[in-house]
Structure 1
Amino acid sequence: MKEETSNHPFKNHNPTIATVLSIIFAGFGQLYNRRFLKGFIFILLEVAFLLTVLDSINYGLWGLRTLGTMPGTDHSIRLLVFGVLSLIAVVFLLVLYVFNVIDARRQAKKLKDGWQPKGFKKTIIDFYDSAFPYLMTFPGLFFMIFVVIFPLLFSVLLAFTNYNLYNSPPRNLVDWVGFANFKELVTVPIWQDTFISVMAWTVVWTVIATTLQIGVGLILALIVNDTRIRFKKLIRTIFILPWAVPAFVTILIFSAMFNDDFGAINRDIIIPLIGGDGIPWLSEPIYARTAVILVQTWLGFPFIFALFTGVLQSISKDWYEAADVDGGTRFQKFRHITFPHVMFATAPLLIMQYAQNFNNFNIIYLFNEGGPPVRNQNAGGTDILISWVYKLTFDTNNYAMAAVISLIMGLIISGFAFYQFRQTKSFKEEGEI
């Protein structure tokens, strides 16, 4: 048996030669291994690349590096877009080329060790079985590249340019400026003051508005779930109604109700009670912020109420009966039975509520367009980061600074989401499945 094994036809096969040949030209290593079909496929792919897209990729990488050299002729943003696409294509081709080299070397080693190649039909069947998951996920990966990765790369690169109203192609070229935009954000007074103010308000808005809607939803769910309450179905239906109305309709109605001059809240409630001209809900930042928090509480509590109601009904009554036998008070039963059970069942969804409100553009823009104006700042009194980015993009055309702030927002949210994901039980037990 040892003599047969040592006399196989590939005993002098050299994996190094297969590796070098596959590096020189994709597919040559496979031909050396006598895997002719695979070798011809790799050769065809490289020839097609050299004849069709090599010039386009070179032009795209040139545009990515220079962003154009002739004002009025070269369009810097189009060059940036084409450059990002070329960069993605280069990465894809490099991955394919590395796979070609690894495949040639691996098969050369197997042939030298006495491995017998399978027939064509068997090879196709084995390839289908091993590659089936990748074939099924490839359309999703391809879609993700152009929907997620491409816009993300474009936005990140845009943050390192001077693309704004005064450097807009094709009349002017856009230039790479490195970290100049980030430096301006923390050193130039108007940018520094605005960024600190908007960031602080975004955090306050997220924490207070979300916590308040969760608290209201929990309290109402506890009250309705009490055994002494009658007409539960009717009460639950009433509390769900604000959720049934489209949010943008509710926000516009509340914006009219909070109007300083003719709003129903001032005209019919505040002025009859305290007199004067009413409260400047839309013209003073502190009152405008209070108003948007109240509106968000109204919009958000129905979902929390419905969520908590379902969880409360799933808690076994035996636990409360056991607590009654032990002499537990209502507060003790809430603290040791109700609250832990509710938090355990709903914590991921509650975390999502905080993340959603951090980027809750709709209510901020529809209620008061981020106003009122604030002196020495280029953002309104109720603007959060996402609405400030919108204004920088569409109102002042400061695309580069909008990209900088978007990048900072992405890092904050990604870090928070990653931390929360690491704490979940599913992530910790993933390796045990």
Structure 2
Amino acid sequence: MLKVSRFTIFLYLLPMLITLALVSIWPILYTLYLSFTNYTLFNSDHYSLIGLGNYQQLLLTPNSDLFFVLGLTVLYVAVCVALFLVIGMATALALNNPRIKGQAFWRTVLLVPWAAPSGITALIWKFLFNDDFGPINQIGRIFFGHQFAIPWLSAPWGTFAAVVITNVWLSYPFFTVVILGALQSIPQELNEAASVDGANAWKRFITVTLPLLRPAIAPAAILSAITTFQMFNTVFLINKGGPFVSADKPGFTEFVIIYMYNRILGANVANPHYALIAAFSILLFIILALATFLARTLSIPASKESVA
């Protein structure tokens, strides 16, 4: 058997390590450095270090709405991920049922929302949700009269529901594919043994299927939560973070990334405050890293238990 030295292995890995350092580690370190400066577009040749000034402006300024926006974003993520899981689970269970005919066709149809460009999908849903001439309200008027009108894009709860529905439409196929793959890897003998012991379909799902799905569901939920937390284009195209009560208050769908764009970058396009944006990015990086670590820590015991 050919023996390869550790140094040779290191040489093979060196190009990948250099690439990783250039495209990942260096940008993070440079962003961290910029967050301690007053760097803007106009003072890029004579900026200076200001310590924690940008972080103080984001976190400690009396009129800062960052914590409200973070809470609103967490609520949005929680609602979306819960719906991803429920709808994805139901769809996967249906597609895994041998009595369903044309499974290849339905699996292809399932991928359409996931494969379509999110920007185009958002614009289509924006048209569907239009308060005046949107098809959803038009169909409602046929059944409930001309006075029927759901304020999808003008009321806080309506807009929140609209962006949740759009995101669920875009993202639930991912959960379906993950759960369907996990379902098909479960030995049929386990369900048969539980059935012999007298367990009904619901009991078999709770005691056999669901524990074996947890190792697949946990990473999918974490990845979807991070993606939803960082979502910008879909929500922005639907209502730009609105509706807005006033110009100095965040909108009811102005989640963290949209808040950063509207309040920091979009508010001063002529001279963007790159250092403040860098500080905002570092805060989001820390929040997402801590949330991911916590989610992984909580999911590991469940995964070990299901394997055992």
Q: Fold conserved (TM > 0.5)?
A: yes
Decide whether aligned partners of structure 1 residues 274 and 339 sit closer, same or farther in structure 2, where only a CA change above 3 A counts: farther
Q: Taking every aligned residue pair, what percent have the same amino acid on both sides?
A: 32
List 4+ stretches of structure 1 deviating above 6 A. Answer: none
Partners of 1:270 and 1:279 within 8 A in 2: no
Where does 1:382-421 land on structure 2 (aligned, <5 Å)?
Answer: 382-391=253-262, 392-396=264-268, 397-420=272-295
Where does 1:27-426 land on structure 2 (aligned, <5 Å)?
Answer: 129=5, 131-164=7-40, 168-169=42-43, 173-191=46-64, 194-269=65-140, 273=144, 275-276=146-147, 278-375=149-246, 377=248, 379-391=250-262, 392-396=264-268, 397-420=272-295
Q: Secondary structure at the match of 2:199?
A: coil
Cα RMSD over matched residues? 2.8
Partners of 2:152 and 2:158 within 8 A in 1: yes
1:411-431 per-position Cα deviation (integer Å, ceiling 9, x unaligned): 111223344556787xxxxxx
Decide whether aligned partners of structure 1 residues 275 and 177 sit closer, same or farther in structure 2, where only a CA change above 3 A counts: farther
Unpaired stretches in structure 1, ≥5 consecutive residues: 1-127, 426-433
User: What is the TM-score with the length of structure 2 in the denominator?
Assistant: 0.83
User: 1:199 Cα deviation (Å)?
Assistant: 0.2
User: What is the TM-score with the length of structure 1 in the denominator?
Assistant: 0.61
Aligned length in residues = 294
Q: Secondary structure at the match of 2:226?
A: helix
Task: Provide the C-alpha distance between the structure 1 equivalents of 2:209 and 2:11, rounded to a whole number of angstroms.
Answer: 47
1:33-84 per-position Cα deviation (integer Å, ceiling 9, x unaligned): xxxxxxxxxxxxxxxxxxxxxxxxxxxxxxxxxxxxxxxxxxxxxxxxxxxx
User: 1:158 Cα deviation (Å)?
Assistant: 2.2
User: 1:204 Cα deviation (Å)?
Assistant: 0.9
Write the letter of the residue equivalent to 2:288. I
Unpaired stretches in structure 2, ≥5 consecutive residues: 301-308
Partners of 1:385 and 1:405 within 8 A in 2: no
Task: Provide the C-alpha distance between the structure 1 equivalents of 2:250 and 2:122, rounded to a whole number of angstroms.
Answer: 21
Larger Rg: 1
Other-structure match for 1:99: none
Higher RCO (C-alpha 8 Å, min separation 6) = 2
Q: Secondary structure at the match of 2:153?
A: coil
Write the letter of the residue equivalent to 1:186. L
1:252-299 per-position Cα deviation (integer Å, ceiling 9, x unaligned): 111121122332222332575264372222233321111111111111
Decide whether aligned partners of structure 1 residues 283 and 159 sit closer, same or farther in structure 2, where only a CA change above 3 A counts: farther
